[in-house]
């Protein structure tokens, strides 16, 4: 057990825009409040209902570029003309405290993080079909028709990246998809190396307590 550390586990969840990733993660965290969610930095405008520091850290392009130059991000990407990045210090602090962290990032960011944290668990979420994806994007009421078409085109390119992930979930029925996502997190925590750390005292008692008739 000496080679193990009591750090949390890192999870990456990716999906094309409109696949339901954010809603699934929100529901999962309500079930499992011990999960930490890394709040990304972005240069995109704040949408109605969003809260700075809760949904994203909204920063200017100048601030983002300065942070990037200083190596402040474990991953960053440009999506639809806006920058997104994940704070290295924030993620490492939560992991060091023994709390699991979810990164809700795209495939580009996932590839960058995977190279630095090879033991992470990654999940890709797909919609059941393109018609459902279109309906979800249109149902948001946030984007113009041209933007939706661009998102659909980009989504097909993104979805080809699913093969690089550990788990694949089809978000057809929300409750089923949520149950499958929860199962991934539960199984990850039950891996022997993880349990060896978290259950160290119990294992010590079971294996090394002198037996008395």
pLDDT at 53: 87
**Number of domains forming the structure of the chain:** 1
The whole-model pTM stands at 0.80
73 in a domain, yes or no? no
Query: What range does the domain containing 31 cover?
Result: 10-38+100-208
Q: Would you say residue 188 lies in a domain?
A: yes
What CATH number is associated with residue 133? 3.40.50.300
| pLDDT score at 1 | 30
pLDDT at 8 over 80: yes
Give a yes or no: residue 20 inside a domain. yes
Span 25-47, mean pLDDT?
A: 90
| Averaged pLDDT score across all residues of the chain | 88
Per-position DSSP letters for 39-92, written without gaps between them: PPEE-SPPPTT--BTTTBEE--HHHHHHHHHTT-EEEEEEETTEEEEEEHHHHH
Apex 121 CA angle, 31 and 2, nearest 5 = 100
**Do the domain assignments include residue 31?**
yes
Q: How many CB atoms lie within 10 A of CB 21?
A: 23
Tell whether 83 is covered by a domain. no
pLDDT score at 141: 67
Segment 121-149 shows an average pLDDT of 85
User: 187 is written with which tokens?
Assistant: 């199984």
d(CA 80, CA 167): 26
């Amino acid at each position: 057990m000496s080679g193990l550390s009591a750090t949390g586990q890192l999870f990456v969840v990716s999906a094309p825009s409109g696949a339901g990733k954010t809603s699934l993660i929100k529901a999962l965290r309500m079930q499992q409040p011990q999960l930490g969610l890394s709040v990304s930095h972005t240069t995109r405008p704040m949408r109605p209902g969003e809260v700075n520091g809760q949904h994203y850290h909204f920063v200017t392009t100048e601030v983002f570029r300065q942070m990037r130059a200083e190596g402040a991000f474990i991953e960053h990407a440009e999506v639809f003309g806006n920058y997104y990045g994940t704070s290295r210090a924030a993620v490492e602090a939560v992991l060091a405290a023994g709390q699991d962290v979810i990164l809700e990032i795209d495939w580009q960011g996932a590839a960058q993080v995977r190279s630095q944290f090879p033991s992470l668990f990654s999940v890709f979420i797909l919609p059941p079909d393109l018609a459902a994806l279109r309906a979800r994007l249109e149902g948001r009421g946030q984007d113009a028709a041209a933007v939706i078409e661009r998102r659909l085109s980009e989504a097909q390119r993104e979805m080809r990246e699913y093969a690089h992930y550990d788990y694949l979930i089809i978000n057809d029925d929300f409750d089923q998809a949520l149950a499958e996502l929860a199962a991934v997190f539960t199984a990850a925590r039950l891996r022997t190396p993880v349990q060896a750390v978290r259950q160290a005292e119990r294992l010590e008692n079971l294996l090394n307590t002198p037996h008395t008739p």
